[in-house]
Structure 1
């Protein structure tokens, strides 16, 4: 069973920038795979549910030791395993790139050349994957996915990397942008708990499925 710091309440950390996992409704409620799992777990515990909203995965990770959340929805990144324990994956999502419509590139490899600059959110799982794949292009890191998109536009960078669903929303907000059809990474999404609560995971895995 999940150990909660606030009796009667399950605090679920969500990265609102990852639209593949969670979206906010106009009434302030949340929907999406992460929200659905959090609702199911709170119901099994017979407690209230409170979503704790962050603007990036890196912010959730940074808050691990501040007792701001009980469970979190994150990619199973090896660099986070010093402070977090992860469930089995509940979803796999795709990372890709957004560029300008008048450019000819159709895949990540087309951008991997000297002088090319690609915006990414610092600490995101796809940022680390991207750095490992590139030989020549530069990764320009910003604090959040929203900031990386803004930096791509304002600094005339060659592309911005992110989760497909989030980049689709960004593309629709500006004229003259194009989302690459090919992804460069598949990223497994899991329920995370602080590492000293790793024994909670078997219970979580039994109850997070539909």
Structure 2
């Protein structure tokens, strides 16, 4: 993959590649327990892209997907790692997905809800992470249930418990982790969506930069880079997206 000066300037008008990192999705990024520094698949991809472009990488860290998206949409960051969604696509050019993550519902053990199609009821309140991919998706899909927005994805189960809501929605891995700490909770038996995690950059940066980023993601999938990163960071509940 060759890079000319116009592509470099499109990616990094400040001279640094500013990568928007969302710590609200543990499949993509976490804080190292020893150093406190961001680590994860998205950080590995950001640094590899910077290496390919010959640019220093500046990690711009946020605690929610919504804030991370806004930073790229407002051009306070140059690239980001998000779930593909048409609302976000108004200002962001997405690659094909590099990772697929499952979205699940969780309820209490004594809940009468057994299947996904029972969630969309007028008597049901569903906790979601504000601005998350599943918030955007469920805001379109649920016609009768009330959506209650937690401040962030990691706060969904806490909100669900504190407000005595009927359902919590989120990334399967996050819900399973929270359920392991709190007796009396169970996940429903099937996913309600597949979250397609992709890279993206502001549409204003032009087609050449967007095409470069798309080709980069395809190479990272095909070469095994993404699979290796998932294994290295001990990430379960996610799979490498097919090469386009």
TM-score range with shorter-chain normalisation? 0.7 to 0.9
User: Take 1:87 and 1:65, find their aligned partners in 2: how far apart are those partners?
Assistant: 15
1:114 counterpart SS class: coil
User: Take 1:103 and 1:192, find their aligned partners in 2: how far apart are those partners?
Assistant: 39
Deviations 1:134-187 (A, max 9, x none): 342211123322343322111000111111122222223323222233110012
1:81 counterpart SS class: helix
| 1:142 aligned partner | 150
Unaligned runs of at least 5 residues, structure 1: none
User: Take 1:204 and 1:134, find their aligned partners in 2: how far apart are those partners?
Assistant: 34
8 Å CA contact retained: 1:17, 1:166 = no
Aligned length in residues:
209
Provide TM-score, normalisation by structure 2.
0.77
Shift of the 135–65 alpha-carbon distance from structure 1 to 2, 3 Å rule, reads closer
Deviations 1:12-70 (A, max 9, x none): 11211112222222223444332221121011122332222212211122223544311
8 Å CA contact retained: 2:18, 2:60 = yes
| 1:22 aligned partner | 29
Provide TM-score, normalisation by structure 1.
0.88
8 Å CA contact retained: 1:10, 1:48 = yes
Instruction: Note if 1:207 corresponds to 2:216.
Output: yes
Query: What is the alpha-carbon root mean square deviation over aligned residues?
Result: 2.1
Deviations 1:76-105 (A, max 9, x none): 110112211111211121111122233243
8 Å CA contact retained: 1:119, 1:152 = yes
Shift of the 113–207 alpha-carbon distance from structure 1 to 2, 3 Å rule, reads closer
| 2:70 aligned partner | 62
8 Å CA contact retained: 1:40, 1:207 = no
User: Take 1:39 and 1:162, find their aligned partners in 2: how far apart are those partners?
Assistant: 28
User: Take 1:134 and 1:66, find their aligned partners in 2: how far apart are those partners?
Assistant: 29
| 2:136 aligned partner | 128
User: Take 2:64 and 2:115, find their aligned partners in 1: how far apart are those partners?
Assistant: 25
**Runs of 4+ residues deviating >4 angstroms:** none
Unaligned runs of at least 5 residues, structure 2: 1-6, 226-244
| 2:57 aligned partner | 49
User: Take 1:202 and 1:144, find their aligned partners in 2: how far apart are those partners?
Assistant: 32
Out of 105-114 and 150-159, give the one that drifted further: 105-114
User: Take 1:173 and 1:69, find their aligned partners in 2: how far apart are those partners?
Assistant: 35
